[in-house]
Amino acid sequence: MEIRAGLSHALGAAQTALQHAQQAAAAADEHRRRVTDAVTGRRRKLSAARDQRIADIVSWHDTELAALAGAAAAAADRAAPGAAGEPWHSWEVTPLAKAAELRVGRLLLPEAPHPHPERTQRAEPSPWATAPGTPREPAEPLPDDDQPEVPALVPLLDHGHVVVGGDDRLADELVASLLLRALGTSAAGMVQIVGYDPEHLGGGLAGFAPLATAGVLTFAGPSELPALLEDMVGHVRRINEKVLAGEYASLRELHAVTKRRPEPWRVAVLLGAPELSRHERSQLDRLLRTGAACGVHLVIHGLAVEPGPGIEFVHAAPGDDARVAGAGDLPVRLDPGPPPGVLTATCRQIAEAVAAGPAPVALESLLPEAGQEWQESAAAALTAPLGDSPQGSTVRVTLSDYPPHALIAGPSGTGKTNFIYAWLGALAARYSPAELAFYLLDFKEGVSFARFAPGRRDPSWMPHVRLVGVNVNTDREFGLALLRFLGGELRRRADAAKQHEVTNLAELRAEDPEGSWPRIVAVVDEFQVLLSGRDAVAAEAVDLLEDLARRGRSQGIHLVLASQDVSGIEALWGRPALVAQFSLRIALPKARRVLAEQNNAADTLPRYHAVVNADSGAASANQVVRVPAAGDRDQWSALQHRLWRKRPAELGPPRLFDGDVVPRLAESPDFRALRPSESPAAPIALLGETIDVTARSARTVLRRAPGRNLAVLGTRVDEACAVLATAARSLAAQFEPDGARFSVVCLDQDAQAAAEALHARIPECGWYDSENVDWLLEDAAAEATAAWPADRPHFILIYAADALPGGKAAADQLRTVLRQGPERRLHVLGWWRGAGLLRDSLGGHASRTDPIGAWVALDVHGSELAPFYPGAGAPNWYPRPWRALHFDRSVHRGAEVIIPYGTS
Ligand SMILES: Nc1ncnc2c1ncn2[C@@H]1O[C@H](COP(=O)(O)OP(=O)(O)OP(=O)(O)O)[C@@H](O)[C@H]1O
C-alpha cells in the first residue's frame, strides 16, 4: 500500500510535471512563431526601405549628372559660341567680340545620363543646391538626340597652340575644322594663315585656297620653314616692342582694355617637317613660349613637340579613341571635317570682304564729346585727330608755323574729298568760328562743298565757313579772287603785326586780345585747274600762291591744296620754293609724287587710309591713318546742325559762289543798295556779277564826261539783252520819276521781247524801232551838239546798233551822239553784234575808239578787242557761255570777267 501509495503519488507528480513541461513547450513554440513572424515582417520592411533609398539615389545621381552635363554643355556654348561651336550643318560666320575656344568633337561622358527634360532645361536653381536624399521622380530616358552634348573644345586664338597627332586623315580634317572655326569667329582678314606643307605642298589646306587671293592665306615652300619661323618671330618681337610696348602683357589684354585689335592673329600651320635644325627648333620653341601673347599661334601636325603651358595636344583617332589632353582621360568623338561647300563659300566670302576693305569708321570718333565743342585755342596751331593708326594710336594733324600748308593727293575715288570733310569736321568741332575760318573752293564739277552753305533743303551752314565756291571749273578767276582776297588779309595781318611789333599770329593775339584774328584755312580742291595752262590767270595764281605760302605761315593763313594727281602740275614743281612751303603732305592710296621720291608708302595703303606726313614726305615721318567716313550726309548734318545752333548771332551765312547758277539782279547787294536821288552826278550802270569773294556787281559810271558810253559786243542775244537790262534797270533805280530820260531802240527781232520787257519796266520810257529811230537820232544829235546845258540825263539803249537804218546820215548822227553826247549827259548803251561792226559805227578802221569808254564783250575773241583796249596787247579772253569780259577805260588796268544777271 505504501508502495502503491508511493507510486501513485509519484505518478501524480510526474503527470503534473509533464503537464508543466508541455505547457512550457507550447509557450516556447508560440514565442518562436511570434519572433519568426516579426523577423519576416521587419525584413520585408527593410528591403522595401532599401529599395526606395536606392531608387532615390539613382534618380538623384541621374539628375545631377544630367544637370552637370547640361551645365557643361552650356559652359561650352559660352566658351565656344556661334561659329566656334556650331555643328557644320547650321554653321555660319559669326565674328565674336573676343576669341573663343574651338570645337573639335564631343566628349563622351562616363555614364550617359537620362535626364528629365524639364530639369536639364532649368538653369536655376543650381542642381548643386538640392540636398541628396530628397525624393525625385524617376528619370525618363530621352531620345539620343536630345541628350545634352558636351563639346570637346581646344583654345587657340589669344590662348596658345594646338599639336595634333594620330591618324593623318583625321588630323587633316581636325586642322581644317580648327582653321575654319578660327576664321569664322573673327572679322574678315583678322586671322591670317601661313601654311607649311612640305609633304603635300599645300594639299592639306587646299580647301582654303580662295583665301590666297586676298592675302589671308600664304604658303611657305618646302625650304622656307626657317624664313617662316623667322617671320613669325619678327612679328612677335615687333608687337612686343611697338604695340604692347610694355604697357600690356598681351594683345588679349590690350583688346580688353582698349577694345582695339591693332594686329591680326597669325596662325602658322605646320603640317609635317623634316628634321629641324637646332636653330629652327629654338625658334619654334620661342614661338610656342611667347607667340600667343602677340597673336602668333601654331597648329602643328607631324612634328614632335614637348608639352608646355598653352600647348593643347589632340590625338586624332576614329570612334571613341580620340583624346584631347585638356579633357583628361575622357574619350572624345571627333567631328568630321567641314563640308567642302561650307569651306569654299566661307573662304570666298572672307576673301571678298578683305578685298572690299575694312568697314568704315564713323565720323563721331573724331569729334569731342557733345558739349565739349569749341574749347581749343588756335593761337599757336590748329590740331585735330584724323583717325587711328593701324597700331591703334590716334593720328593728329597740325597746321601751324610748321607745317603751315598741306598738299593732298589721291586719285579719283580714293577718298580725298572725304578726307577733307573729316579734317574740316574735326577742326570745326574743336575751334570756334572766332578761332578758325574756312574758305573752300572746289574746281571739280559737282557740289561737294555746297553742304557747308545753306541750301534749299537744309538751311544750316558750317559757322566757320566764310566762302564756298563750287562748280568753278571754268571760272578760274574765282580762284584768283580768293587768292587776292587772302593776299589782302595777309597784308592786313602783317600791318597789324608791324604795328604791334610782333612777328606771328600767336604774338599778335597776345598783344591784341580784342582783335579778331582767326586762323584761316583755305582749301582748294583740284587746284591744278587753277594753275593749268600758261595764261595770265595761272601766272598770277602761282605768284599769289607763293607769296601766300611764304608769308601766310606766320600770319595764320594756311593753304590746303588737293589734287587727283599732283605729279603733273608743272606750275607747282617748277617752283621749288613754293612746294617747300607745303610741308604737310597727305597721300591717299596710290597717290603719286606727293611724298618724297623714295617713299612708296601710298602704293600699299589699304582703302580708306591715308599717309599723313608732316616732313615734306620724308619716309621717316610717315603716319598711316584710317580715315573715318565723313561723307555720310546724316552724320555730317548732325555735326553741322550742332555747331550751327551754337553759332554767334552776328555770324551770317557764307558766300556761296556756284558757277552753274545764274545770279539774279534782284539779289545783288549793290543793286538793292541803289536809291533814287535828285540828280545823281555819277549814275552807276551795273552790268553783271563779278567773280569775286564778295557778291560784287561790275559797274561803269556814266558821269558827264567824254567816252561815257557802253558797248555790248557779240552775237549772243540773251546775254546782250541781260546786260543792257541790268544797266538800264540799275540806272533807273537812281533817279526820281522824270529824273532821267530813257529811250529803247530795238533793231533786231530776236531782241524784241527782251527790249519790250525792259521798256515796260522803266516808267516813261521811249520806244523806237527801225520805223522811227531817225526821229530819235535827229533829236539826240541836236541835243548832243546844243549850246544849252541838258536839264537831265538821257540814256539811249540800242539793241543791234549795227542794224541802224538810214544810211550815212543816220550813222553820222549816231557817231555825233557817241562822241559828243556824254558831255551833255546823253549816253548810249548799245549792243553791236561784233567788234568790227562797232568799229564801223565809229567811222571805220582808222577812227578813234575812245567814244566807247566801257564795253562788255560776249562771244568776241580777245584779239578783236585790241582796238578797244589800251596799250599794245589784246585782253586774254576766250568766250564761254553766260560769261562776259568787262573793261572800263576810266578805272581798269585789265579787263574783268563778269556773269550777266539773269532776266528775272
Ligand atoms: N574713309 C572712308 N570711309 C568710308 N567711305 C569712304 C571713305 N573715304 C571715301 N569713302 C567713300 O568713297 C567714295 C569716294 O570718296 P571721295 O568722294 O572722297 O573720293 P575722291 O578722291 O574725292 O574722289 P573724286 O576726286 O572723284 O571726288 C565716296 O562714296 C565716299 O563715301
pLDDT in tens, 54-108: 999 999 988 888 888 888 888 888 888 999 999 999 999 999 988 999 999 998 8
Is 415 one of the annotated binding-site residues? Answer: yes
How many Å lie between the centroid of ligand 1 and the Cα of residue 590? 14
Rounded distance from Cα 416 to ligand 1 centre (Å): 6
Quote the ligand 1 centre to 607 CA distance (angstroms): 10
Closest residue by Cα to atom 15, ligand 1, is 415
Euclidean distance between CA atoms 542 and 545, whole angstroms:
5
Ligand 1 atom nearest the C-alpha of 526 is 25
Take atom 12 of ligand 1 and give the residue whose Cα is closest: 415
Ligand 1, residue 631: give the atom nearest the CA. 31
Rounded to the nearest angstrom, the distance between the alpha carbon of 417 and the centre of ligand 1 is 6
Q: What is the dihedral of CA 390, 391, 397, 403, to 10 degrees?
A: -100
Ligand 1 atom closest to the Cα of residue 446 is 27
Q: Which ligand 1 atom is the nearest neighbour of the CA of 361? A: 3
Question: Which residue has its alpha carbon closest to ligand 1 atom 16?
Answer: 415
Which residues, 6+ apart, have CB-to-CB distance to 199 below 8 Å?
271, 272, 302
Predicted confidence (pLDDT) per residue in 570-608, tens digit: 888 888 899 999 999 999 999 999 999 899 999 989 888
Distances (CA, A) of 494 to 486, 506, 508, 519: 12, 13, 10, 14
Protein residue closest via CA to atom 14 of ligand 1: 413
Ligand 1 atom 6 nearest Cα: 629
Alpha-carbon gap, residue 707 to 887, rounded angstroms: 13
Residue 557 has pLDDT above 80, yes or no: yes
Q: Give the residue-averaged pLDDT of 17-33.
A: 96
Per-residue pLDDT reduced to its tens digit, 794-846? 999 999 999 999 899 999 999 999 999 999 999 999 999 999 999 999 998 88
pLDDT of residue 585: 97
pLDDT band of residue 337 (cuts 50, 70, 90) is very high
Better-scored residue on pLDDT, 464 or 533: 464
The ligand 1 atom nearest the CA atom of 588? 21
Specify the residue with its C-alpha closest to ligand 1, atom 26: 412
Average pLDDT over residues 613-625: 95
417 is in an annotated binding site: yes
Q: Cα of 639 to ligand 1 centre, how many Å?
A: 19
Task: Specify the pLDDT at position 125.
Answer: 39
Nearest CA to ligand 1 atom 11: 415
- Interval between CA 409 and ligand 1 midpoint (Å): 13
Is 412 annotated as contributing to ligand binding?
A: yes
- Tell me what the mean pLDDT of segment 482-511 comes to: 95
pLDDT band for 532, please (50, 70, 90 cuts): confident
Closest approach atom of ligand 1 to CA 628: 1
The pLDDT of 309-321, averaged and rounded, is 94
Mean pLDDT, rounded, of the chain? 90
Q: How far apart are CA 4 and CA 11, in angstroms?
A: 10
For range 631-649, the mean pLDDT: 90
Cis peptide upstream of residue 403 (ω within 30 degrees of 0): yes
Q: Which of 395, 452, 445 has its CA nearest to residue 425?
A: 452
CA 411 to ligand 1: nearest atom? 21
Position 391 pLDDT exceeds 80:
no
- Residue to substitute in 417, 448, 607, 626 for testing ligand 1 pocket (most ligand atoms within 8 angstroms of CB): 417
Ligand 1 site: residues with CB under 6 angstroms? 360, 410, 412-418, 564, 608, 627-629, 631
- Does the pLDDT at position 715 exceed 80? yes
Query: Which atom of ligand 1 is found nearest the CA of 420?
Result: 18
Report the sign of the C-alpha dihedral through residues 108, 109, 112, 118, in that order: negative
Supply the pLDDT for residue 365.
86
> Is 136's pLDDT higher than 80?
no
What is the whole-number distance in angstroms between the Cα of residue 537 and the centre of ligand 1? Answer: 30
Residues 112-125, mean pLDDT to the nearest whole number: 44
Pocket test for ligand 1, best of 364, 414, 418, 447 (most atoms within 8 A of CB): 418
Protein residue with least CA distance to atom 2, ligand 1: 629
Confidence band, pLDDT 50/70/90 cuts, at residue 534 = confident
The CA 608 to ligand 1 mean position distance, Å, reads: 8
Ligand 1 atom 23, closest CA: 413
Amino acid 329: pLDDT: 85
pLDDT digits 0-9 by tens, 244-257 = 989 999 999 999 98
Residue located via cell numbers 614743281:
573
Report how far ligand 1's centroid is from the alpha carbon of 579 (Å): 26
Question: In which band, very low, low, confident or very high, does the pLDDT at 142 lie, cut at 50, 70 and 90?
Answer: very low
Closest atom of ligand 1 to CA, residue 421: 18
- Adjacent-strand bridge partners of 470: 658
629 Cα–ligand 1 center, Å: 8
**414 Cα–ligand 1 center, Å:** 6
Q: Note the ipTM here.
A: 0.97
Distances in Å between the alpha carbon of 551 and those of 379, 402, 528, 562? 17, 12, 22, 20
DSSP string, 331-343: -EEEPPPPPHHHH
* Per-residue pLDDT tens digits for 6-21: 999 999 999 999 999 9
- Nearest atom (ligand 1) to Cα of 632: 31
Average pLDDT over residues 493-511: 94
CB of 72 closer than 8 Å to CB of 293: no
Q: How far, in Å, CA of 8 to CA of 603, rounded?
A: 145
Q: How confident is the model at residue 111 (pLDDT cuts 50, 70, 90)?
A: low
pLDDT tens digits, one per residue of 654-709: 999 999 999 999 999 999 999 999 878 899 999 999 999 999 999 999 999 999 99
Percent above pLDDT 90 for the chain = 75
pLDDT at 507 over 50: yes
Beta bridge partners of 550: none
Comparing CA positions, the residue from 531, 602, 598, 596 lying closest to residue 561 is 531
- Average the pLDDT over 856-885 and give the result: 91
- Expressed in angstroms and rounded, the spacing between residue 101 Cα and the centre of ligand 1 is 39
The 10 Å Cβ neighbour count of residue 871 is: 8
Nearest CA to 555 out of 495, 482, 498, 504 is that of 504
Residue 359: pLDDT band with limits 50, 70, 90: low
Place of cell 525792259: 758
Which atom of ligand 1 has the smallest separation from the CA of 627?
Answer: 1
Q: Which domains does the chain have, with CATH numbers?
A: 151-349 (3.40.50.300), 363-658 (3.40.50.300), 665-899 (3.40.50.300)
CA of 212 to the centre of ligand 1 (A): 27
pLDDT score at 200: 78
> What pLDDT is stored for residue 570 in this prediction?
83
Distance 418 CA to ligand 1 centre (A): 5
For 602, residues 6+ apart whose C-beta sits below 8 A from its C-beta are: 587, 588, 589, 590, 591, 592, 594, 595, 611
